[in-house]
Amino acid sequence: MDRLAELIAARLPPRREPRTPAPKLDEATLRAALAGILAGRRTGERLHLFSYGALMWERDVVPGAEANPAEAPGFARSFCLRDIHTRGVPEAPGLTLGIRPAPGARCGGLLYALPEEPEAEARALLTAWRQEMSPGFYTPAWLEALPHPQGRVTRAIGFLADPAHPLFVGDMPEGEQAKVLATAVGPQGPDAEYLRRADGMLRDLGLPDPALDQLTRRVSAMLEGMVGATGIEPVTLRV
């Protein structure tokens, strides 16, 4: 176990349940949005999804898909969204990753090629779609991904942060991000664990993210300084 994992286990509770469940998009809305993005699919095109956060390691959410390291040119990843569903709760939100257009930037991640058999494709797509789109703060879009180490540019569906959504927080200062990430806990566990997994996954893929690496160091330092599991009160953000 690495040092950050040890600190998370020692300083933070394993999970936190919300007083009131966070709202999610209903099934009809999800399926309408899915139909909308699929209208842009080209004839005979194999479906691909570009992942840059939890979907990188939660591969069972995309059953039967092939996965390869990739970059999405022209996009940048950041903790620009409040998380009240998984690593935070409405009364004490965490932060989660989103991507936004950024000329000259390159966002590393994992490119999923969905199964070619129609039923398996539909099952994998719908499972991933529900997970990513249910919170409501992503906008699906077609983007171009470049598989690594060498590969052809591939069109893929990506999940972009929606700047018009109430949970969009934008460019929060790094110190504030670190404080939230070091303290927030939700039904799926501590936000610090989400950061640790994302940072470690990208390094394992050979596509390290300097911003996540820096945040990981700051969060580790904050957790080191905690006296005990309640050493720092959860940060409450206005939602």
19 within some domain:
no
Instruction: Please confirm, yes or no, whether 58 is among the known catalytic residues.
Output: no
For residue 181, what are the domain limits? 3-12+24-224
Residue-level pLDDT at 238: 46
Give the chain's domain count. 1
**Sequence-distant (≥ 6) Cβ neighbours of residue 49 within 8 angstroms:** 55, 62, 65, 111, 112, 114, 125, 128, 156, 157, 158
238 within some domain:
no
Per-residue pLDDT of 52-61, as tens digits, reads 999 999 999 9
pLDDT of 223 > 90? The answer is yes
- Range with lowest mean pLDDT among 11-20, 111-120, 146-155, 208-217: 146-155
- Average model confidence (pLDDT) across the chain: 94
142 within some domain:
yes
18 within some domain:
no
111 phi and psi angles, rounded to 5 deg: -105, 120
Task: Map residue 107 onto helix, strand or coil.
Answer: strand
Residue 152: how many CA atoms within 13 Å on its side-chain side?
A: 3
Per-residue pLDDT of 122-140, as tens digits, reads 999 999 999 999 999 999 9
233 within some domain:
no
Residue 191 corresponds to which tokens in the numbers above? 């936000």
Cα–Cα distance for residue pair 182/142, rounded to 1 Å = 33
Residue-level pLDDT at 236: 52
230 within some domain:
no
Residue-level pLDDT at 232: 44
41 within some domain:
yes
Per-residue pLDDT of 164-188, as tens digits, reads 999 999 999 999 999 999 999 999 9
Mean pLDDT, range 10-22, rounded to an integer? 95
**Domain containing 115 — which CATH number?**
3.10.490.10
39 within some domain:
yes
- Please tell me which residue in 132, 144, 174, 176 is annotated as part of the active site: 132
> By the 8 A CB rule, do 79 and 177 touch?
yes
What's the whole-model pTM score? 0.93
Q: How confident is the model at residue 229 (pLDDT cuts 50, 70, 90)?
A: very low
Q: Concatenated DSSP letters for 117-131? A: SHHHHHHHHHHHHHH
Q: How confident is the model at residue 227 (pLDDT cuts 50, 70, 90)?
A: low
